[in-house]
Structure 1
Amino acid sequence: MTVAQPDVSVIIGAYEAMPYLVECLRSVEDQTLDPARIEVIAVDDGSTDGTADYLDEFAERAPMTVTVIHQENSGGPSGPRNVALGKARGRYVFFLDADDRLGTEALERMVAMADEQRTDVVLGKVVGVNRTAPKSMWGKTLPRTDVFSSQIKFTLSAQKLFRHELLTRHGMRFDETLKTGEDALFTLEAYLRADGVSVISDYTCYYLVGRDDGKHVTKSGSYTLRFDSARALMRLIADMVPAGPRRDSLMLRPFLITLLPQFGPGFLTDSEEVRAHKLELAKPLMDAYWHEGVARRLKVNERLRLHLVARGRADLLDDVVQFVKTKKAPTAHLDARAGKAYLAYPHFRDRTAGLPDDWFVPTTRETVTIEAFKATTSVAFPRLRKAARKVLKVRRAA
């Protein structure tokens, strides 16, 4: 007898997932989508805490088809996901982490959206439980969008609904050589290959749970793994998107989210050996991918730090990072003649440093007010107000 194809294959890779797995699986059982339209493929990645037994028990009582695979520990989430993906039969695939949980209507809403809009990827709103979650992409529901005209590049975790045929057609799998950021690589490739992406913002589809034991995978691993992740993501973008503004808009993500944190406050307490190694790892990435098209999209403190990284100027970088750590607002300066505003982070117009003024020009991502200029300049106010408005008008139009 032919078994009907399920609508969605829920893939769960589980390693030492107790007790979080209990709520995770309960959220699958509670789905409003007909159980006959769901299959679960769970891979126990060599757990020793009862995860394996609980998965087997779930398979015996669950109202939907459940396949449990037991294997030796693979060392990361990619292996289990790839194994399960090879077994999936659903029209769609959803990757559910074993310590997270679904909203009750999540699968029903996401499948309906994909079917109605004929989109290849669906993002359901994510909220954090005892941890932060991405927020910028949930402003409104977008029935059909893409990675260039939305904020979805800032959520590259794998917890999305993917059309199975898309993954099969392009032979897409998770990169098992990466120990972090493997989901970002997979998801961004899917965005770029997709015939449309949908965003559901009016219903919480996914609860991203912070573990009390602090063992969530994104919190672990050496800093070198972050550079591996940034390198892979930058290479993917360069390979798939021609040079120009669209590529620059995507490059913003690995520079801002993956690379820049390596040169945040923690850099001040790194050993000299680690600091030198970070700059060494960053150099080929900066040489290959860092240029003005990316830099001008960043805030001054972000751009300034990365420019200094590109030049290997750890001596100047320390002062900037220390200032950023204080969370103080920089002094604002206005060059009335040039009609340009500047934010005076450390080494602004420092002759010995020799940094270009343009590194300190605020972008549209920053708020610069007439009041800030008024408080920090000796130019007469009527003249200042006219010049400042000119600067702000130029910035708003950019």
Structure 2
Amino acid sequence: MNLWVVVPAHQEEARLGETLRALAAQRDRDFTLLVVDNASTDGTAAVAREFAKRAPFTVEVIDEPEKGVGSAVDTGFRYAITQGATLLARTDGDCLPRPGWTGAARDALLRRPGLVCGRITARRDEHGPLGRVAFMALVALAALFGRLRPRHARRHGYRAPYRMHAGNNMAVTAELYLAVGGMPRRPSPTDRLFLNAVRRHTDRITRCRAMVVENSTRRLRAYGLRGTARWYLDQGSGTHGTDDPR
């Protein structure tokens, strides 16, 4: 099975290097890395291309001029599939996958082909203990809100119960990705739309606790506690652009 890891990145010159080093530290490095530079005006693509010169796996860098994380992910996944990918994993350009991430993603997809949702925790280098606790509390609240939300109930034709799905920590078979029409390119939050498309198609959705990504908490700094709560509770980004921060 041919695994590709896709990393969409917008204006991530300062952070992308850490993500790439975390991927280079994976115990399972039998994959191709694809960085999708999404309309960046900084040195994001240059960071990825410089890393490619010494990476312990094949690295490709492509451009997606249509701004939006959904557009970048869809372009990246579809490109990987045309190059022979059968298994796809995604994280973001400000996240730190732990060393067992790719191996856990591969094992989970081989055991039960479909969609695999990993576990996120807060990065330790962006906020102190209180900030990390606040972030994880918001994630837990959003997960509960999603499960209780009437529109997510199985009576609406879903084949699997709702469980919060972090787009920056997911893996999916190429077959399922194409079958559900891919990642919606707009509007945000595209991850939730994709999850519900999968839920309508199949019940083959696996939670993998061994697949861990340390998530950026910088949305807290940019949006504040209230604004971040609005975002995670699917109430939009308020006065903030949906792509800033990513």
TM-score (norm 1): 0.46
Larger Rg: 1
> Do 1:9 and 1:39's aligned partners in 2 also have CA atoms closer than 8 Å?
yes
1:51 and 2:44 aligned: yes
**Number of residues paired by the alignment?**
206
Shift of 1:102: 0.5
Provide, for residues 310-357 of structure 1, a one-character-per-residue CA deviation record: whole Å limited to 9, x for no partner: xxxxxxxxxxxxxxxxxxxxxxxxxxxxxxxxxxxxxxxxxxxxxxxx
Q: Higher helix share goes to which structure?
A: 1
1:165 and 2:175 aligned: yes
> Do 1:59 and 1:66's aligned partners in 2 also have CA atoms closer than 8 Å?
yes
Provide, for residues 78-136 of structure 1, a one-character-per-residue CA deviation record: whole Å limited to 9, x for no partner: 221121112113222112110111010011012112212x2311122211224524348
Distance change in 2, residues 1:50/1:126 (3 Å): same
> Do 1:41 and 1:68's aligned partners in 2 also have CA atoms closer than 8 Å?
yes
SS at match of 2:116: strand
Tell me which residue corresponds to 1:189.
Answer: 197
Q: Percent identity?
A: 20
Provide the rounded CA distance (Å) in 1 between the counterparts of 2:105 and 2:115: 9
Tell me which residue corresponds to 2:24.
Answer: 29
Tell me which residue corresponds to 2:186.
Answer: 177
What is the one-letter code of the residue matched to 1:165?
A: E
Distance change in 2, residues 1:57/1:161 (3 Å): same
Provide the rounded CA distance (Å) in 2 between the counterparts of 1:211 and 1:197: 29
> Do 1:15 and 1:51's aligned partners in 2 also have CA atoms closer than 8 Å?
yes
Provide the rounded CA distance (Å) in 1 between the counterparts of 2:34 and 2:167: 19
Provide, for residues 183-228 of structure 1, a one-character-per-residue CA deviation record: whole Å limited to 9, x for no partner: 1101221233234222223x36111112389458xx989x9xx7xx
> Do 1:90 and 1:164's aligned partners in 2 also have CA atoms closer than 8 Å?
yes
1:257 and 2:233 aligned: yes
> Do 2:19 and 2:94's aligned partners in 1 also have CA atoms closer than 8 Å?
yes
What is the one-letter code of the residue matched to 1:147?
A: A
Distance change in 2, residues 1:86/1:60 (3 Å): same
Distance change in 2, residues 1:90/1:199 (3 Å): same
Distance change in 2, residues 1:79/1:66 (3 Å): same
TM-score (norm 2): 0.72
Aligned Cα root-mean-square deviation (Å): 3.2
Provide the rounded CA distance (Å) in 1 between the counterparts of 2:183 and 2:222: 21
SS at match of 2:75: helix
Tell me which residue corresponds to 2:115.
Answer: 121
Provide the rounded CA distance (Å) in 2 between the counterparts of 1:208 and 1:187: 19
Provide, for residues 121-158 of structure 1, a one-character-per-residue CA deviation record: whole Å limited to 9, x for no partner: 11222112245243487xxxxxxxx732xxx5233535
What is the one-letter code of the residue matched to 1:100?
A: C
1:19 and 2:14 aligned: yes
Structure 2 regions of 5+ residues with no counterpart?
Answer: 144-158, 239-246
Provide the rounded CA distance (Å) in 2 between the counterparts of 1:109 and 1:51: 28
What is the one-letter code of the residue matched to 1:207?
A: E
Tell me which residue corresponds to 2:74.
Answer: 82
SS at match of 1:258: coil
Distance change in 2, residues 1:193/1:165 (3 Å): same
Distance change in 2, residues 1:93/1:18 (3 Å): same
Tell me which residue corresponds to 1:102.
Answer: 97
SS at match of 1:154: coil
Provide the rounded CA distance (Å) in 1 between the counterparts of 2:227 and 2:49: 28
1:66 and 2:66 aligned: no
Provide, for residues 52-83 of structure 1, a one-character-per-residue CA deviation record: whole Å limited to 9, x for no partner: 111111122211111101343x2211221121
